[in-house]
A and B are shown apart, each in its own frame.
Chain A
Amino acid sequence: MESMRRVGSRPALYVDGKVHSYEELGRLAGRIAATIRKTSPPPMPLVALLAHRSLTAYAGVLGILGAGKGYVPLNPKLPTERLLRILTLAGPDILIVGKEARRHLELLLPKLPQRTVLICPDMEDLDGLSASFPQHQFVPGSAMAEGALLAADPREGDDPIAYLLFTSGSTGDPKGVPVRQSNLAAYVRYIADRYAVNDEDRFSQMFEMSFDLSVHDMFVCWEGGACLYAMPDHTVMAPAKFIRDHAITMWFSVPSVIGVMEKLGMLKPGLFPTLRASLFCGEPLLGRHAQVWQEAAPNSLVENLYGPTETTIAITHYRWNSEISPDICKSGITPIGRAFTGQKTCVIDSTFHSVAAGDSGELCLSGSQVTQGYWNNPEQTKKQFVTLPGAGDELWYRTGDLVMEDRDGCLQYLGRIDHQVKIRGHRVELPEVEFTLREASGSQQVAALAWPVKEGLAEGIVAFIAGDAAQEVGPILQHCRRVLPDYMVPSRIRFLEHMPLNVHGKTDRMKLRELLKEEQQ
C-alpha cells in the first residue's frame, strides 16, 4: 500500500488489454474499502471476492485488505456447489462481484446461507437482481462510498486474516487455511528483497486467485512498485508470446507449464531474454525442465520454490545451476533446497524425533510464515500443527511430504506419505474424490488413483467402482463435475466386480495400478 503513494503514476496492473496506474488502482480499492467500512451492521472479519482477471478482482483484494478484512477468493470457474460450500464454511456477509461473474449470481443468490451485501464496482443495472432477491442488498458502482487513495488499516497490535483459501480436504469438505497479515508480510519482504524487485519489473500473473501462488504475484510485485501482467485465460497454456510481447522480467508458474511448452516445441535457447527471475512452485520440478528453461531464459536465475498453503506460498528454495544441479537431482527431480532465512525445517520419523542427515522422514516447518491452524477445524489442526520433542512450545506444521536432507542441509523431495497428489499444481486429497464417488454411485467400494504418472508428475485421476457393474458412467461423472473442481474430476471410471484388497483388508492400490498398466499395453 506504501507503493500507492511512492509510485502513484507508474503502471500497477495490465488486465483486459489496459494498463492501470497505482493511483487508479488505489482509488478504486479505496472506494471498495470505504464501502465495506460503511456497511451496517459491522461486517465479519472476512469478505468474499467473486471476480476473475479484471480490475475489480485486483482492486477488490486491495480494498478488502484496506478495510482491515481478509479476502476469500471464489473462482468463478468452480462448480456452484463448491462455491456455496466455501461460502457456508467461511461465512462472509459481504461479497465483491466483478461483472465477468454476474451470470453466477442467479445460481448462487437463492442458496446463500445468510443475508449478504453485494458490492459490484463495475455494474450499474442491478434492479432485476434486487427485485428477485430482496433478502440481499446490492451496491452498484455509482452507490459506493467515496474513498481516498487506499491506505493501510491503522489498527495496531492486531494481526487480522489476510486471506482464507480452501484446499482439498480428505473428509469430503474443503479445508480452510487462514493466512494472517504477519505471515504474508514475512513472505513478501523476504522475497521482494531476495530478488531486488523494483519499479521497472514486469510480473507475470498466471495463477487463479483461489491458488495461493497468486498472492506472490500480486504482493511481491506491488511491494516493489512493479507492474502486474494478468495473463488472459487463452495464453496460460502456451505463454511464450505473452512473455515476449510484454517483456516480462519476473516469471512464476507451476513446472508443468515447461513440459507443455516443451512438447509444443515452444522452448528454444534464448527465447526469453527479458526474464531475470524464473520461479517454479506447486509440484516437483524436473531437472531436465529446469535446464531447458534456463537455456530459454539465459539472463534469468531459475529457482525451485516449495511450500504448502499452510506455510504461506513457499518456504524453501533451490537455485538451479547448470553445472552442478543435474548431478544433485534425485530421480531427475530438482531439490527443494533450504528454508528461507528466518524459517525452520525439521525432518522427523514416526515418533516425531529428528532423523539423521541422509535418512528420509516427514518434513515439518516452523517460523513466522507458518499459520496457526485450519479454519474452524480443531481436529485437523491438532493433527497437522504439533509440538516436537525437545523443541518447547514452538508450533510445527507437518507437511505430509517425505524428504531427505543431505549433509549440506539441502532438502530433496521424495514423495507423499499419504494419499495427497498434485494435479497441474493443485493439491488433491484422493479421499475427497472417493467421497464424491461414493455419493454419486451409492457404492462403498471406490478408489481414486493418480494416473497416468509420467516422470513423477500425475496427469489426471482414474476412478474404480466395485459392486455394481451395471451403473452408467455419465451420471456419476456429471455429479463429480457439479461438486468438484475440474482437476479433481476423474478422466475415466472403471467398474469392477470386486475391489482388490491387500493383506490388511485395504484397497490394493498396487493391483489397481497394475490393471491400468495392463490396459495401456
Chain B
Amino acid sequence: MRTAQETALAKHITEWVKRGRSTNGVDVPDFSEDTDLIAAGILDSRGFIEMMLEVEQQTGNRIDLNDIDPSEFTTIKGLCRCAMSQASPC
C-alpha cells in the first residue's frame, strides 16, 4: 500500500523531471511514474544521479541501491518506493 508521503514524493519528482527536461523549450516525451526513464531516453546517467540526489534531499535519507535490480529504481514509482522503505528491502 502506498503512503500519502510516497505519492507526494512521486508527484514532486515527476514535476522535477518535467521541468529539467523542458529547459530547451523542446517537448518532453510522454512518461508516467512507471516509465523506465533510462530505457525511454528521458534521462541519461547524469540526469538519473541528479534525480536521485533530489529524492535524497526530499527525504533526508541516503538510498542504498546495491542489492536492488536497476529495473526497480529507474522508474519514479520504484525509486520513491525504495527511498521510503529504507528499513526494509524494496
Closest to A239 in B: B70
Closest to B47 in A: A491
User: Pick the contact of B66 from A235, A266, A477 — CB < 8 Å?
Assistant: A266
If A460-B46, A477-B26 touch, whether A237 touches B64 (CB-CB below 8 Å) is no
Residues of the B chain whose Cβ atoms lie less than 8 Å from the Cβ of A189: none
Residues of the B chain whose Cβ atoms lie less than 8 Å from the Cβ of A241: 66-70
If A237-B45, A493-B24 touch, whether A264 touches B65 (CB-CB below 8 Å) is yes
User: Pick the contact of A265 from B23, B25, B63 — CB < 8 Å?
Assistant: B63
Q: How far apart are B50's CB and chain A's nearest CB, in angstroms?
A: 10
Tell which of B1-9, B10-18, B36-44 binds the partner. Answer: B36-44
- Tell me whether A264 and B25 are in contact (CB under 8 A): no
A473 within 8 A of B: yes
* A–B Cβ pairs within 8 angstroms, 29 of them: A233-B38, A234-B69, A234-B71, A235-B69, A235-B70, A237-B74, A238-B70, A238-B73, A240-B65, A241-B66, A244-B67, A256-B45, A260-B49, A263-B49, A264-B49, A264-B65, A265-B64, A266-B66, A268-B66, A271-B66, A424-B44, A424-B45, A473-B25, A473-B26, A474-B24, A474-B25, A477-B24, A478-B26, A492-B24
Q: How far apart are B77's CB and chain A's nearest CB, in angstroms?
A: 15
Closest to A262 in B: B49
Q: Which residues of A contact B (CB under 8 A)?
A: 232-235, 237-238, 240-241, 244, 256, 260, 263-266, 268, 271, 424, 459-460, 472-474, 477-478, 486, 491-493
B84 within 8 A of A: no
Q: How far apart are A82's CB and chain B's nearest CB, in angstroms?
A: 15
Q: How far apart are A411's CB and chain B's nearest CB, in angstroms?
A: 29
- Tell me whether B36 and A234 are in contact (CB under 8 A): yes
Closest to B25 in A: A473
CA distance A235 to B73 in the complex (A): 11
CA distance A478 to B63 in the complex (A): 35
Residues of the A chain whose Cβ atoms lie less than 8 Å from the Cβ of B69: 234-235, 241
CA distance A194 to B23 in the complex (A): 49
Task: Identify the 7 closest CB pairs spanning chains A and B, nearest first.
Answer: A260-B45, A234-B71, A238-B70, A263-B49, A234-B70, A237-B45, A474-B26
CA distance A240 to B67 in the complex (A): 8
If A234-B74, A241-B70 touch, whether A474 touches B27 (CB-CB below 8 Å) is yes
B80 within 8 A of A: no
**Total A-B contacts with CB atoms under 8 angstroms apart:** 65
CA distance A244 to B70 in the complex (A): 13
Residues of the B chain whose Cβ atoms lie less than 8 Å from the Cβ of A478: 26
Residues of the A chain whose Cβ atoms lie less than 8 Å from the Cβ of B62: 265
- Tell me whether B70 and A492 are in contact (CB under 8 A): no
CA distance A240 to B69 in the complex (A): 9
CA distance A478 to B25 in the complex (A): 12
- Tell me whether A264 and B74 are in contact (CB under 8 A): no
Closest to B36 in A: A234
Q: How far apart are A281's CB and chain B's nearest CB, in angstroms?
A: 18
CA distance A492 to B26 in the complex (A): 10
B48 within 8 A of A: yes
- Interface 1/0 per residue, B70-86 and A, CB below 8 Å: 11011000000000000
CA distance A271 to B64 in the complex (A): 13
- Tell me whether B41 and A486 are in contact (CB under 8 A): yes
Residues of the B chain whose Cβ atoms lie less than 8 Å from the Cβ of A459: 46
Residues of the B chain whose Cβ atoms lie less than 8 Å from the Cβ of A472: 25
Q: How far apart are A436's CB and chain B's nearest CB, in angstroms?
A: 16
User: Pick the contact of B38 from A234, A244, A474 — CB < 8 Å?
Assistant: A234
Most chain A beta-carbon contacts within 10 A, residue among B27, B68, B70:
B70
If A233-B39, A459-B46 touch, whether A238 touches B65 (CB-CB below 8 Å) is yes
Residues of the B chain whose Cβ atoms lie less than 8 Å from the Cβ of A268: 66
Residues of the B chain whose Cβ atoms lie less than 8 Å from the Cβ of A460: 46
Residues of the A chain whose Cβ atoms lie less than 8 Å from the Cβ of B39: 233-234
CA distance A452 to B59 in the complex (A): 28
Residues of the B chain whose Cβ atoms lie less than 8 Å from the Cβ of A263: 49
